[in-house]
Amino acid sequence: MDSIQHLITIALKEDMGSGDITTDNLVDSDLEGKGVIIAKEPFVIAGLDVACQVFKHLNADVIFIPDYIDGNLVKEGETIATVEGKLRALLSGERTALNFLQRLSGIATCVRSYVEELKNKRVRLVDTRKTTPGWRVLEKYAVRVGGAYNHRMGLYDGVLIKDNHHAVCGGIKKAVDRIRTQVHHLVKIEVEVSTPGQVKDALNAGADVIMLDNMSREQIKEAAAFIGGRAIVEVSGNVTKNVLKSLADTGVDIISVGALTHSARCVDMSMRIQAAD
């Protein structure tokens, strides 16, 4: 939560600088009002608590009343939330709060569309580290809201030996053997491979997870059959929505998709503010 509060502080500072020159000169500090956040298209909502915290950062007495919870589908024209309190806080926090909501809801909506493609499939859909710098915790949260799962959060919480790693270590087996002496027994070791020969090397080296990167559909199917449950099989690289079902039928366990975060568009919403009677 501390990292999110820090991000909110940075976002407000970026937008307001030394102060809201328009609002501070037009609106008396004691005036109160209400803001209504409206959906301008259908989407999966995510980030309501973050939006609430934006307004409370400006004025702790602001009341934020959501009409939905994260993960709900919102229809066009519906009220997402109502914000009540000092008008200065509402006016100054509007854009920052909406920016968080629009971005996180956009990711959740994108993810939900991918999840729907995999309905009734046993494969697990996961994200990647292709996130907006500084936003990873929030964007990976939005992925979960959308119905998918997270891959590792960063370089610190999971071993993934990529092609560049085994290239500089002298091969897959040397890399796996070396890392296994450095991490404790509860840490799984994943190895990225791109050829059938590397699949065999990773399996013989005792990899717990084998990532098939940018391999053909036939190669993926053959690799999954060869591995035969002796390691978790992940597929990655140029995965688009239209190939999800066919990939799921190859026998892999996990499909990782960078587009869940890096290509999700922001959804559209607005906030209407009025002074109290």
149 shares its domain with 102: no
Alpha-carbon 266 to chain mean position: 13
At a CB cut-off of 8 Å and minimum separation 6, what does 76 contact?
39, 40, 41, 42
Domain shared by 152 and 25, yes or no:
no
Q: Is 71 found in the same domain as 19?
A: yes
Domain containing residue 174:
120-262
Please tell me the total number of residues recorded for the chain in this structure: 277
Instruction: Tell me how far apart the alpha carbons of residues 240 and 138 are, in angstroms, rounded to a whole number.
Output: 23
d(CA 23, CA 52): 20
User: Does residue 68 share a domain with residue 89?
Assistant: yes
* 145 and 94 in a common domain: no
Regions of the chain where pLDDT drops below 70: 1
| pLDDT of res. 1 | 60
pLDDT of res. 277: 72
Clarify whether residues 52 and 172 are in a common domain: no
- Considering its fold, how many domains does the chain have in total? 2
Write down the pLDDT at residue 127: 98
Q: Give the residue from 138, 49, 52 showing the smallest Cα distance to 90.
A: 52
**Tokens linked to 258:** 């960078």
Active site residue 213: yes
pLDDT at 168: 95
> Kindly report the CA angle at 206 between 203 and 209, in degrees rounded to 5?
70
268 catalytic? Reply is no
Q: Which of 129, 121, 122, 75 is nearest to 267 (CA)?
A: 75
pLDDT for 134-158, tens place per residue? 999 999 999 999 999 999 999 999 9
Q: Which of 192, 201, 234, 253 is catalytic?
A: 192
Catalytic residue check, 130 = yes
pLDDT of residue 276: 82
List the catalytic residue out of 121, 124, 130, 188.
Answer: 130
Which of 124, 162, 180, 241 is flagged as catalytic?
A: 162
In this structure, are 103 and 136 located in the same domain?
no
pTM to 2 decimals? 0.95
Contact 121, 139 (CB under 8 A): no
Tell me, yes or no, whether 164 and 212 share the same domain: yes
Active site (annotated) includes residue 162:
yes
Say if residue 77 is in the same domain as residue 163.
no
Burial (CB count within 10 angstroms: exposed 0-12, middle 13-18, buried 19+), residue 189 = buried
The H or E element containing residue 32 is: strand 32-39
Q: Do 223 and 165 share a domain, yes or no?
A: yes
Question: Residue 127 maps to which CATH number?
Answer: 3.20.20.70
Both 108 and 227 in one domain: the answer is no
The answer to whether 40 touches 268, Cβ cutoff 8 Å, is yes
Are both 102 and 135 inside the same structural domain?
Answer: no
